[in-house]
Amino acid sequence: MTELLLAATSLDVTPPPGHRLDGYAARAGVATGTADSLRATLIWLSTAHDPGVLWLTLDAIAVGAALVAELAETAGAAAGIPASQVVVSASHTHSGPSGWTGEIHPVIPAAQERSLVDPLLAAVRGAQLDRQPVTASWRSIEVTGVGTNRHRRNGPHDNTAGILALHSLSGSLEAVLLDFACHPTTYGPENLQYSADWPGAARDALAPAVVGFLQGAAGDVSPRFTRQGRGAAEVARLGNLLAARVREALADPGLELPQSAPAIRRTTLTLPVRSIPTVDESEELVTAAERGVNRADDATGRISQTRLEGARGQALMAAAALPPTLDLPVSAVTMGDVCWINLPVELFAVHGACLEHDSTHPITRVIGYTDGYYGYVVDPSAAEAGTYEALITFFDQPTTNTLLTETATFANT
């Protein structure tokens, strides 16, 4: 009989203070300390004769192509499997170091720092990946109160959490692969301490199980309308809210998955970069946005301020030497009835819903921020309204349609 084998570990990879934080163009200063630890989590599912899939999840704003290649090679070597079997995902916390990935967009210029990357790789290289037999089961549960659509409270948002639970043969919960869609932006640009934000708090609340967090189609989803503060107490509140719902789901037997290793398929989609307005046109938009900015310390004010940041970002894109096309790595991981579609972008919620609807798999989860980073993919309403995300996206609507169509076709093959 085939045994499903699990190796799982969570590594503290928090850098020292003194490095620039990523996630907010408005942030000034460098990290002064640590609010809660940043972690690299490895969950490897395989059998004795099948390398399966190793998920490496990192508390970072993103994982650029260069960082992905190094992490996949290092994690694969630690497990003794090909790098192609490793999926690298970022939680998208806005309180991690910029030096891991470097510049992810002209909006926030940054450089990759070997003094940060090398210790991260060393931690992964030294990971203990001893395997043990486990059983796998699936659950999905609704979670309200953590996030909503960040442009309008009642806008599109997938509020379900997907839960792959891995139990030892004696019944103890060993690991959870958890996915949910919401920006980890409880802390704002004023924060200068490293933090995994609410995904880290949820992970801690589910200990001692090893928890790998996968960020969903969260491009237009955040705690903007749900958060009650900006500090550690609110991070804990939101994380514990999610963890409590996960624990409720785990009390149910769930859907038993086969004792076979997950499989992964990969492809690359080459997409054109949109035509960016000229520098002069972009500067005119900045001037208009400055006139219309609302300084109120509430959701309405934040929307107004982010539109100004978007206008400034588009001006930076206009001045940059953007490539004519981008190569997006896309993958599909399947395990029984469950399929995870992985993309290196920030999909809007409606796009995640479209991919799930068009999927031929009984259970489909759409995961972003994986195996690279190529910015936002926005819906038509955002493009028409000129939201922050629409102003700094690399893609126009025809390209977005191509991405969704080709991804769905690939995932269903």
- Residue 104: per-residue pLDDT: 86
| Residue appearing with tokens 């004696």 | 170
Quick check: 182 pLDDT over 70? Answer: yes
Domain membership of residue 308 as a residue range: 277-321
> Model confidence at 312, in pLDDT bands (50, 70, 90)?
confident
Asked if 63 and 372 count as a contact pair (C-beta separation under 8 A), the reply is yes
- Residue 106: per-residue pLDDT: 87
Please report how many Cα atoms fall inside a 13 Å half-sphere around the Cα of residue 260, on the Cβ side.
10
Q: What are phi and psi of 37, to 5 degrees?
A: -70, 150
- Residue 296: per-residue pLDDT: 65
- Residue 299: per-residue pLDDT: 66
In this structure, the answer to whether residues 170 and 311 fall within a common structural domain is no
- Residue 285: per-residue pLDDT: 80
> Model confidence at 393, in pLDDT bands (50, 70, 90)?
very high
Cα separation, 349 vs 333, in Å, equals 20
| Number of domains within the chain | 2
For 269-273, what is the mean pLDDT? 97
Provide the strand spans (E) within 159-311: 160-168, 173-180, 193-194, 210-215, 221-222, 255-256, 263-272
In this structure, the answer to whether residues 121 and 253 fall within a common structural domain is yes
Residue 370 lies in a domain: yes
- pTM (2 d.p.): 0.95
Quick check: 297 pLDDT over 70? Answer: no
Quick check: 295 pLDDT over 80? Answer: no
Write the pLDDT tens digit of every residue in 74-110.
999 999 999 999 999 999 999 999 999 998 888 888 8
Asked if 185 and 222 count as a contact pair (C-beta separation under 8 A), the reply is yes
In this structure, the answer to whether residues 190 and 311 fall within a common structural domain is no
Residue 271 lies in a domain: no
Cα separation, 61 vs 110, in Å, equals 12
How many other CB atoms are there within 10 angstroms of residue 260's CB atom?
A: 17
How many other CB atoms are there within 10 angstroms of residue 241's CB atom?
A: 18
Residue 270 lies in a domain: no
Residue 18 lies in a domain: yes
Spatial CA neighbour of 4 closest among 215, 174, 160:
174
For the stretch 284-294, what's the b/e string if a residue is b when 16 or more beta carbons lie within 10 angstroms of its beta carbon? ebbeebeeeee
| Residue appearing with tokens 């028409």 | 384
In this structure, the answer to whether residues 243 and 190 fall within a common structural domain is yes
Q: Any idea what DSSP says for residue 20?
A: B
Burial class (CB in 10 A: 0-12, 13-18, 19+), 357: exposed
Q: What's the chain's average pLDDT?
A: 95
In this structure, the answer to whether residues 35 and 54 fall within a common structural domain is yes
Residue 198 lies in a domain: yes
In this structure, the answer to whether residues 294 and 168 fall within a common structural domain is no
Asked if 211 and 200 count as a contact pair (C-beta separation under 8 A), the reply is no
In this structure, the answer to whether residues 196 and 78 fall within a common structural domain is yes
Residue 269 lies in a domain: no
> Model confidence at 164, in pLDDT bands (50, 70, 90)?
very high
In this structure, the answer to whether residues 294 and 243 fall within a common structural domain is no
- Cα angle vertex 149, ends 144, 152, to 5°? 115
| Residue appearing with tokens 């790998």 | 212
DSSP 156-189: ----EEEEEEEEETTS-EEEEEEEE-----SS-T
For the chain, percent of residues with pLDDT exceeding 70: 97
Residue 359 lies in a domain: yes
In this structure, the answer to whether residues 106 and 235 fall within a common structural domain is yes
In this structure, the answer to whether residues 204 and 299 fall within a common structural domain is no
- Residue 301: per-residue pLDDT: 66
Residue 257 lies in a domain: yes
In this structure, the answer to whether residues 85 and 216 fall within a common structural domain is yes
Amino acid at 198: W
In this structure, the answer to whether residues 242 and 314 fall within a common structural domain is no
Edge-first strand listing for the sheet containing 263-272? 263-272, 325-335, 338-342, 363-367
Quick check: 290 pLDDT over 80? Answer: no
- Residue 269: per-residue pLDDT: 98
List of residues 6+ apart from 218 with CB closer than 8 A: 92, 147, 181, 182, 183, 346, 347, 349, 368
For 200-204, what is the mean pLDDT? 98
